[in-house]
Amino acid sequence: MRILEVFETILIVLGISAIYPRVNIDNLYIYKKDNAVYVSFEAHNLINDSIEKIIRSGIPVNLYFHTSTTDKKNVIFDTNYIYVIRFQDDTFYLNGELIENSERLITSISKNTFVILDNIESESGKRITTQIDISISADKIPNLNDLWGNQPKITLNYRL
């Protein structure tokens, strides 16, 4: 067991491995509904142990999903989806809504469905690219993103 720990430490120092868990994206799919394009996905490890300790200390944390959709030349849809997470009086809150416990909080922010393009009729037949950059911040803690083992993003290329 000791040899594995030494090997892992060497990988961390070399930058090949990370101390913090990577944010993983899976079960991703896009679909059209009501003249809009949606993306649905699961993001795992958004709240790791280190980030949960910061939240439990009373520091509000913002989780951002910046969505930018472009055709070859122009940005045609650009928005931020934001989760505000805070802990007060031994209770988690997500966008002001009471959440029973940390497991429920993690489940609530892991499964996401967002509009990535509206008014799709005007974009019919075009090749479209959507990029979703995921980030996390807190007013009192710079570089909170560094507590993730990667800088998660999703890039989707599709034709309407």
pLDDT at 109: 93
**Which of these, 74, 43, 57, lies nearest to 152 by C-alpha position?**
43
Domain regions of the chain by residue span: 21-159
pLDDT at 6: 52
Q: Across residues 134-145, what is the average pLDDT?
A: 89
Question: CB under 8 Å to 17, separation ≥6 — which residues?
Answer: 8, 11
- The pLDDT tens digits of the residues spanning 84-125 come to 999 999 999 999 999 989 899 999 999 999 999 998 888 888
Interval 3-31: pLDDT, tens: 655 555 554 444 444 567 888 899 999 99
Per-residue pLDDT band for 45 (boundaries 50, 70, 90) equals very high
Mean pLDDT (whole number) for 120-148? 89
Right CATH for 21-159 from 3.30.230.10, 2.60.40.2060, 2.30.22.10, 2.40.10.10: 2.60.40.2060
DSSP 3-state of 21: coil
Longest C-alpha distance within the chain, in Å? 61
Q: What is the structure's pLDDT at 11?
A: 44
Using left for φ > 0, alpha for ψ between -120 and 50, and beta otherwise, residue 34 falls in left
pLDDT at 85: 96
Residue 14: the pLDDT is: 46
Looking at residue 12, its pLDDT comes to: 47
Instruction: State the average pLDDT for the chain.
Output: 87
pTM, entire model: 0.83
Higher-confidence residue of 134 and 17: namely 134
Average pLDDT over residues 53-73: 93
Alpha carbon of 50 to those of 24, 99, 124: distances in Å?
17, 19, 45
